[in-house]
Amino acid sequence: MSESPQCTRCSGIFCYPNIAADERPSFDEAPPSCPTKLKRDVIEKALSNYDKEDIREFARLASVQEFECYEHTPAGIRTRIPRIEETIQFAHKNGFKRLGLAFCSGLANEARMVADILERNGFDVVSVCCKVGAVPKERIGIRPEEKISGPDLYESMCNPITQAEILNEEGVDFAILVGLCVGHDSLFIKYCQVPMTVLAVKDRVTGHNPLAAIYLSRSPYYGRLRRRVQA
């Protein structure tokens, strides 16, 4: 079997080199698992998508937005704005007027604050909670003993496909995810037909900052992450 791409095992200096604008990167010393070397055909095919006018413009604006998230100071390059402002600026750049918020019921307060901020910044906001439809979990085969609140209580399923379909039907220009669970977010992304971004991911034990556990994985606190052998 041919080698799999393994960018995580590379320093990254070959595809993001510190060279002059008129020079070209060299991959002579890049590892054999380098996808820039292994996947020329895929790279060319993927690049052709940027020839579509709307895709090219979207990509261009995303990179302009990326640029505007930094500033040059006498002390060097510094970061400027948090992700919520990045999202607002990007939405304005694209001329988006109507934004869709798909949020988790566990982050309802955060979603209200996000909606308020977006509205104060001139957007029309449509929001849909994950429990929309109030469909019991039994509908997707969840057993009583698998319900979080216990077997004797009604429990609505998370309904990310409906969240996506409502935002599709509402004709939002851009969808923003706030705190959907792993897997539920996958379904939302699969069914959402408008451009979307993730403002926040859910992490129940780190204040929705999954990298906190990653940062601590080389310490005693979350060292178990590196010891665990997955079945």
* Interface with ligand SF4 (CB under 6 A): 7, 10, 12, 14-15, 30-31, 34-36
Q: Are 94 and 62 in contact, with CB atoms under 8 Å apart?
A: no
Distance CA 114, CA 176 (A): 10
Q: The tokens of 219 are what?
A: 């310490």
Task: Report the nearest approach of ligand SF4 to the CB of residue 187 (Å).
Answer: 30
Task: Report the nearest approach of ligand SF4 to the CB of residue 38 (Å).
Answer: 9
Of 39 and 139, nearer to ligand SF4 (C-beta) is 39
Q: Where are the alpha helices (DSSP H) in the chain?
A: 35-38, 40-47, 53-68, 83-93, 108-120, 160-169, 184-191, 211-215, 224-227
Task: Report the nearest approach of ligand SF4 to the CB of residue 32 (Å).
Answer: 9
Of the candidates 185, 190, 224, which has an alpha carbon nearest to the alpha carbon of residue 202? 185
Of 35 and 133, nearer to ligand SF4 (C-beta) is 35
DSSP-derived 3-state class of residue 56: helix
Task: Report the nearest approach of ligand SF4 to the CB of residue 48 (Å).
Answer: 19
Task: Report the nearest approach of ligand SF4 to the CB of residue 107 (Å).
Answer: 34
Of 12 and 171, nearer to ligand SF4 (C-beta) is 12
Of 41 and 54, nearer to ligand SF4 (C-beta) is 41
Of the candidates 61, 117, 114, which has an alpha carbon nearest to the alpha carbon of residue 92? 61
Of 31 and 133, nearer to ligand SF4 (C-beta) is 31
Q: 172 Cβ partners below 8 Å, 6+ apart?
A: 98, 99, 100, 126, 194
